[in-house]
Structure 1
């Protein structure tokens, strides 16, 4: 597929596929499948509804519904009305949802009929897809390639999230980029990402531009509980873009989970060499791509096809610039650094967003004039990289992650990579804690059973200068991920605080059932001294592990607990009482 000229909009991509493949399926979920012709008709009806409610060119329209076929219909209807869509993940807390709708300036919000009451605090016109009729079909709005198409929000890990304005040309350039593996009619793209995450651009727009089908899948925890590999095969999924943290975790559980795919892309964080080795050493024989790119650059600006030569290293490259993209590795003065030296990555090209909505101060900090070419604007990523002699880029870390330990300037990413070289370390994240002279490094590690903390510390002391050796090691079952699939550093800081608090407020298990659970949790969650008042999730558990917990209880004790009851009150003492009650009922029957 060649890059279309800059006269192309996202609506144009749909119209082309509709003309070529009117009877092919465009999108499906567990309840509904629609063809390209049906998608064209239904989205025109939504556009007519929005125009009749006063939506004009340049307006922002919020979208607050579940992941489903209706999402595709609604987004295309919004764009055909000339507006930009603001997709809000329906799982977000009310405060986050309202903030996104307010900060985006959405004048209209599309939602489900039974969710109207949830939006009582939102100052916007509330409409539903059920109000759209074929009689209301309208001509497509006058939006062009330089008009706003979408408003995305940063994860907001430090301060209030920023609204990023993406234009039609930005998303078109990614969805049709010839440097990325091409989809084709007959492909079925698995849709698992949050609607508020930029991976959705691949799932929807690359799919529709190619005449393929977007298949809405259950959430990842549900797929794992039902057997990830079997579900992808049953649903005939051939292509996916998954958050890197999902790939790292799923492949560790089942290296053949993605065996059915022809194309697998991962992005959003650091992909683990161990995960790539497991994946490529199994039944998966498709193409694995490591994508890099902040949301401000529209999903990806570099890509790397992972091969055998990459598996022996301690990191996977982020690759080369996509077609039409310019990358520059610059020093703090804005000058290019020699190949092999570390510098901050700056990116230009058609994927660079317009900027931050209503934040000109932040926009001028990150979106800079391009002094090297004709791209117009460079985005300053804040990421440190180095360029190999062959032109491939390697990710080093965040520029703002550098800290001083005992007078030495330290890059935590270097310590992480060193720890991951250990054959029994599945993953590692290193954070700095404390202030000034008390500042030290803490390593959060995911380990195989063969290594102990003592042995890992000895390894670090043998490999690293003493100021780089973490003062504390915290073993976790998995590195937590935030809503956008990136490593959740805030959660790690909270984990450390809770660990230190637990050491001071420990209450030992008091019954045989509590002791049974405490021993199980210690193994499952890789923690010591589990107490009767401990919370499963506060110890590092998550919904995937809750399934494993319930499965083990059933296997060991022959008792099936209500999974929702565990989620509602995940304290060890409470779960032990549920088990005891179930035992009593079983004995009476």
Structure 2
């Protein structure tokens, strides 16, 4: 038992009355809020498997009850990606005896016998007395029972489950000398029969894997739980996308083709100023020649607000043979100095106006306003410099969960793939009017700008006063007759929650955060929910929610992989997990970035060699997801966050709050053991709303999810990238 000595977390726990809540949930939309529909699936284990379980129990000197309970715990662990799990135990068909709380921090590296010994000896397991009268929504909604029959034909008597017990997933087994029979009683209001049948199959596969002699020294994380047929479906159908041979021309070459074709057409309209394709190209060429004439050229930092100057600058840098590093103008001078140091002090394109606001003192500055005459004297001809697919195109800084900026290195092949996929998928045309809203330091600007410049459509710059208010964005979209727009999730939620009028919009692209509501069915435009870390070049998966065929999900899915991208849902041993099981998302294919700037250690940690033939490398996203039956992905949260707050699926509260007719936006935050809800209201609702919302939540939210506090805000504080700033929310 050397592993027990090495693992400092393994301690024997006393029996106490401390509650440890565990709720097994489903991605399925309940047929009725807080409803209960009693369903069951009957199954049996064959004689050889029953005998093997008997032998294993004798070998470990424990009961079949302990062996099968531990196997059931392991099954729940593999499906939920949680280690702290509580299970209600039935003593007889009418009496609940106690609740078992498994409190391990990690289980995957133990063999099954080691894990079984831990449970048998009470390590990291708490047995808590519990009666039927004490069952509440704070207790587990999962139960287990094992009964023994003496006769061959003895009919099992299983507990009757009703709605008052709040038990949604109940595994009851009956053991006799010939075989083990069983029934899985479940709440059909939240679980569907197809998923339950598949889970029962996987439970039996896991049991067989546990008792096979060749597996006795395997860690439980390597024990098989998925059938070959299901694994083939996932790897060959769900994970892979179609291979599309996009144009081998660079986006600069494709842009210059549009200049030749549509030179006099407007490329950018900012306020009342209009820049044609020909003018934009000439100005970018002059800046590119200027950049090459002043220094040896590599990465160039750009510190500009969103607009024509920024667009011109990124075109110029790529034309000049360099790579772009966009920086947010809202950064402090201290943070800017840190980022510029990481970039090895590159030239910085900005304006005097921007510098005066943040007080940056930096020697290698190109001022578009003060250097205007020097730049305008340069040639306006195309540079025609060759660019290779593996050349660096962008360095995008992302703070991630640590707050420390990381420079992500995006190559031309990745940039070309996402840009040309977006153009084709969204059917971008010369007639389109596209919005330019995203902060330049937010990678979403890539899909706002490039798909349109290589097509010949027009970019409309949304001025700053409109960018941080959903109603003002809506007014601006109407005024400019925008046909296609990317809007950060937090701003998009109020827009898609109710029908909109007087819009020319046909495609709304949403991304940046988890989307917690489906679009209203009467919307006249398509809503695309997009997901993707910067480390995989802006977008990895997408779904058109307006034509999505699975409206029974609680939350909008994040969809399927884009062209030439592969996605895998894998456990700690890089094995595919069953449909519906929660695990980490890995992404591969053309979108995978080169790695992190000056951080080889983190690059090796998060960019791993792929065990699958379709990708050379996979990026570990740190996001917890699950497959749906139709091959879409459902986002469940950040992996580290789930481990810390594993028992609280707060997105359920957000979903319910957004169904209230007075709520515009909703956010639920876990702090310690308490849940705080924040929301904004639709126009015209103020007086008495808080009391009404509390009453509404009491009737619709399960007790274990009821918030400690409800805070109504005039607006949500936002980061410069258009995401909700949780750090800036008021403390309670």
Q: TM-score, normalised by structure 1?
A: 0.74
Write out per-residue CA displacement over residues 119-154 of structure 1, whole angstroms, 9 at most, x where no aligned residue: 652242434361213544573334322111111111
Instruction: Indicate conservation of the 8 Å contact 1:314/1:418, yes or no.
Output: no
Aligned partner of 1:240 in structure 2 is: 485
Aligned partner of 1:513 in structure 2 is: none
Matches within 5 A, 1:119-518: 121-128=361-368, 130=372, 131-133=374-376, 135-136=378-379, 139-155=383-399, 158-177=402-421, 180-219=425-464, 221=466, 228-250=473-495, 255-256=499-500, 259-273=503-517, 276-277=519-520, 280-281=521-522, 284-307=523-546, 313-403=553-643, 409-417=647-655, 419-420=657-658, 425-434=663-672, 439-446=673-680, 466-492=703-729, 495-496=730-731, 500=732
Q: Provide the rounded CA distance (Å) in 1 between the counterparts of 2:478 and 2:658.
A: 32
Q: Provide the rounded CA distance (Å) in 1 between the counterparts of 2:403 and 2:330.
A: 21
Instruction: Indicate conservation of the 8 Å contact 2:326/2:441, yes or no.
Output: yes
Instruction: Indicate conservation of the 8 Å contact 1:223/1:231, yes or no.
Output: no
Alpha carbons of 1:220 and 1:314: their partners in 2 closer, same or farther (altered >3 Å)?
A: farther
Instruction: Indicate conservation of the 8 Å contact 2:300/2:325, yes or no.
Output: yes
Alpha carbons of 1:63 and 1:460: their partners in 2 closer, same or farther (altered >3 Å)?
A: same
Aligned partner of 1:66 in structure 2 is: 305
Alpha carbons of 1:399 and 1:69: their partners in 2 closer, same or farther (altered >3 Å)?
A: same
Instruction: Indicate conservation of the 8 Å contact 2:679/2:713, yes or no.
Output: yes
Structure number with greater CO (CA < 8 Å, separation at least 6) is 2
Q: Superposition RMSD on alpha carbons, in Å? A: 3.1
Matches within 5 A, 1:562-573: none
Question: 1:483 Cα shift?
Answer: 1.7
Pairing 1:11–2:252 present = yes
Question: 1:70 Cα shift?
Answer: 1.9
Alpha carbons of 1:160 and 1:60: their partners in 2 closer, same or farther (altered >3 Å)?
A: same
Write out per-residue CA displacement over residues 286-344 of structure 1, whole angstroms, 9 at most, x where no aligned residue: 22211111122222111111127666753111111111111111123221111122121
Instruction: Indicate conservation of the 8 Å contact 1:183/1:206, yes or no.
Output: yes
Instruction: Indicate conservation of the 8 Å contact 1:291/1:318, yes or no.
Output: yes
Instruction: Indicate conservation of the 8 Å contact 2:300/2:348, yes or no.
Output: yes
Question: 1:446 Cα shift?
Answer: 4.0
Aligned partner of 1:546 in structure 2 is: none
Aligned partner of 1:571 in structure 2 is: none
> 1:33 is paired with a residue of what secondary structure?
strand
Q: Provide the rounded CA distance (Å) in 2 between the counterparts of 1:265 and 1:31.
A: 26
Q: Provide the rounded CA distance (Å) in 2 between the counterparts of 1:34 and 1:446.
A: 38
Alpha carbons of 1:162 and 1:67: their partners in 2 closer, same or farther (altered >3 Å)?
A: same
Alpha carbons of 1:417 and 1:360: their partners in 2 closer, same or farther (altered >3 Å)?
A: farther
Structure with more helix by fraction: 1
Q: Provide the rounded CA distance (Å) in 1 between the counterparts of 2:458 and 2:580.
A: 42
Instruction: Indicate conservation of the 8 Å contact 1:164/1:296, yes or no.
Output: yes
Write out per-residue CA displacement over residues 453-486 of structure 1, whole angstroms, 9 at most, x where no aligned residue: 5665566566666544333333334443322122
Aligned partner of 1:75 in structure 2 is: 314
> 2:585 is paired with a residue of what secondary structure?
strand
- Where do 5+ consecutive residues of structure 1 fail to align? 501-589
Write out per-residue CA displacement over residues 153-179 of structure 1, whole angstroms, 9 at most, x where no aligned residue: 114553312111111111111111066
Aligned partner of 1:53 in structure 2 is: 294
Alpha carbons of 1:257 and 1:166: their partners in 2 closer, same or farther (altered >3 Å)?
A: farther
Which is higher, the Rg of structure 1 or of structure 2?
A: 2
Q: TM-score, normalised by structure 2?
A: 0.60
Q: Provide the rounded CA distance (Å) in 2 between the counterparts of 1:69 and 1:161.
A: 26
Question: 1:212 Cα shift?
Answer: 1.0
Aligned residues: 480
Q: Provide the rounded CA distance (Å) in 1 between the counterparts of 2:272 and 2:345.
A: 29
Q: Provide the rounded CA distance (Å) in 2 between the counterparts of 1:426 and 1:310.
A: 24
Q: Provide the rounded CA distance (Å) in 1 between the counterparts of 2:261 and 2:670.
A: 55
> 2:383 is paired with a residue of what secondary structure?
coil
Alpha carbons of 1:113 and 1:329: their partners in 2 closer, same or farther (altered >3 Å)?
A: same
Q: Provide the rounded CA distance (Å) in 1 between the counterparts of 2:456 and 2:245.
A: 16
Instruction: Indicate conservation of the 8 Å contact 2:565/2:590, yes or no.
Output: yes
Write out per-residue CA displacement over residues 541-579 of structure 1, whole angstroms, 9 at most, x where no aligned residue: xxxxxxxxxxxxxxxxxxxxxxxxxxxxxxxxxxxxxxx
Q: Provide the rounded CA distance (Å) in 2 between the counterparts of 1:174 and 1:164.
A: 16
Instruction: Indicate conservation of the 8 Å contact 1:193/1:200, yes or no.
Output: yes
Q: Which deviates more from structure 2 when the two are superposed, residues 383-392 or residues 90-99?
A: 90-99
Q: Which deviates more from structure 2 when the two are superposed, residues 181-190 or residues 219-228?
A: 219-228
Q: Which deviates more from structure 2 when the two are superposed, residues 41-50 or residues 11-20?
A: 11-20
Alpha carbons of 1:174 and 1:461: their partners in 2 closer, same or farther (altered >3 Å)?
A: same
Q: Provide the rounded CA distance (Å) in 1 between the counterparts of 2:666 and 2:514.
A: 11
Question: 1:232 Cα shift?
Answer: 2.6
Alpha carbons of 1:333 and 1:480: their partners in 2 closer, same or farther (altered >3 Å)?
A: farther
Q: Provide the rounded CA distance (Å) in 1 between the counterparts of 2:695 and 2:472.
A: 38
Q: Provide the rounded CA distance (Å) in 2 between the counterparts of 1:415 and 1:100.
A: 38
Alpha carbons of 1:342 and 1:222: their partners in 2 closer, same or farther (altered >3 Å)?
A: closer
Instruction: Indicate conservation of the 8 Å contact 2:662/2:681, yes or no.
Output: yes
Instruction: Indicate conservation of the 8 Å contact 1:397/1:411, yes or no.
Output: no
Q: Provide the rounded CA distance (Å) in 2 between the counterparts of 1:477 and 1:318.
A: 29
Alpha carbons of 1:176 and 1:139: their partners in 2 closer, same or farther (altered >3 Å)?
A: same
Q: 2:276 aligns with which of 35, 39, 54?
A: 35
Question: 1:189 Cα shift?
Answer: 0.9
Q: Provide the rounded CA distance (Å) in 2 between the counterparts of 1:136 and 1:205.
A: 24
